[in-house]
Structure 1
Amino acid sequence: MEEETVYVKRSQRDYSMSLKLQIVQEIERGKLTSSEAMKRYGIQGHGTVLKWLRKFGNFDWENQSPNNMSKTPEQKIMELEAKVKLLEKQKALLEEQAFVSDKKAIIFDMMIELAEEEYKIDIRKNSPPEQSPNLKKNKNKR
């Protein structure tokens, strides 16, 4: 024969602070999931457990990271060393890209000079561009 569970409407005040903290601790330590805690302690709403986790737990819900998980100096040093290596790789890549861009600019300048000499045309304009005759007429009308 199956037991029939009778649900009684409860409020947050029906649970003691020590029970709330105990449930949060058990969930954070991995002893229970929130669903298991609900069944074991007769909590009716899933949101109730989530509220307790947000309110009393050690997880920083704003930044999505544990807030009391302090790192050892060795861990911090290892993280910083990894960050330095990554930044050095990025710097080397950017320097290589800048070198290639400089070489391309030099080659393009040489190509333009050759084209100007070969075809006797000005590709680079040293003077400001002339306005079209239509624009001059429109300005005179105003």
Structure 2
Amino acid sequence: MTYKQAQERYGIQGRSNVLVWLRKHGQLNWFKGIEKPNTVGNGMLDSPSTQIPEQRIKELEQQLEETQLKADFFEAVVKVMDRDFGVRISKKRKAELLRKKR
């Protein structure tokens, strides 16, 4: 599918958005306009629909573990920033923001 076909089919107006999406998720041959498997991607060899459940579960468990490690790392960074530098990094609540604006 070309980006023009994707724009027409899905009603997307921006060309760059379509190109980014097709590069990431689509199966686009940039030279001939013929569909082919995308060799560049996010590390998944098979699409989720072609994987057996055990493969998909294993992949999701790996993603979960990586996400948990990232969350732990960022929490540690926030604690160090607070403890060593006195910088508080936290989301402000909506009510607090409204009070400060008044």
TM-score of Structure 1 vs Structure 2, range by shorter chain: 0.3 to 0.5
- TM-score normalised by the chain length of structure 1: 0.31
More helix by share: 1
Structure of higher CA gyration radius: 1
